[in-house]
Amino acid sequence: QQKVQQSPESLTVSEGAMASLNCTFSDRSSDNFRWYRQHSGKGLEVLVSIFSDGEKEEGSFTAHLNRASLHVFLHIREPQPSDSALYLCAVASSGSWQLIFGSGTQLTVMP
Amino acid sequence: GGIITQTPKFLIGQEGQKLTLKCQQNFNHDTMYWYRQDSGKGLRLIYYSITENDLQKGDLSEGYDASREKKSSFSLTVTSAQKNEMAVFLCASSRGDNQAPLFGEGTRLSVL
């Protein structure tokens, strides 16, 4: 059974300082990784999807996947207070329809 | 652009009551999902449907029924609401298994 864990649970950074979020997974056959963001009281917004080792950039968001170490990272370049939200990592195993979510990192960006 | 509409936005029920949540999407997506989100926990999959009239159980299907009446709509029924239950139910849709599911804004359930 796939397990997905995120760290830290909460993170506070200053406006403009890089924010780095970590996600670990347990199934090495996983091939489908998503980062979502959820503002309070809203639905999920997909930020970046990555399917192979290396980096994928979408705007100010960069995902970095290393399947050998079972990690996928999200780096947020020059975050703004409007980026304050819950960030969720989701992983699917090869051939599976089911995305398994981590419990999230609550990011606060201070002006 | 398309949209996923969940109704109602807020739902207050009584213990033991049967409650139905509805989801509509106009992306013409084949696959639809129902997730439950509890405070401090990630999303957990309740049911999904890869095409009209198809139903697949997720890890959290016990206590729920689902219905994919047509391609654009997917309903979820809480068969017997549990006292003090509070959660957000999120509906999502996607073209297929390689597209990131897109989410609605959720139905917030409280049970008295």
DSSP B69-110: EETTEEEEEESSPPTT-EEEEEEEEESSTTSPPEE---EEEE
- The residue count of chain A comes to 111
For A64-108, the pLDDT digits (tens) are 999 999 999 999 999 999 999 999 999 998 777 788 999 999 999
The answer to whether residue B43 neighbours chain A at the CB level (below 8 Å) is yes
Chain A residue closest in CA terms to B5: A43
Q: For chain B, report the end-to-end CA distance as a whole number of angstroms.
A: 38
Looking from the CA of B99 toward its CB, the CA atoms found within 13 Å total: 15
Cα-flanking dihedrals φ and ψ of residue A82, to 5°? -70, -10
Position B97 pLDDT exceeds 80: no
The label of the residue with tokens 């056959």 reads A29
Closest Cα in chain A to B42: A103
Looking at chain A, which residue has its C-alpha nearest residue B49? A97
- Closest CB from A43, A51, A96 relative to B106: A43
pLDDT in tens, B18-60: 999 999 999 999 999 999 999 877 899 999 999 998 999 998 9
Closest-CA distance, A44 to chain B, in angstroms, reads: 6
| CB of B110 less than 8 A from some CB of A | no
Alpha carbon B55 to its chain's center: 12
Give CA–CA dist B92/A89, Å, rounded.
16
Give A34-59 pLDDT, tens digit per residue: 999 999 988 999 999 999 999 999 99
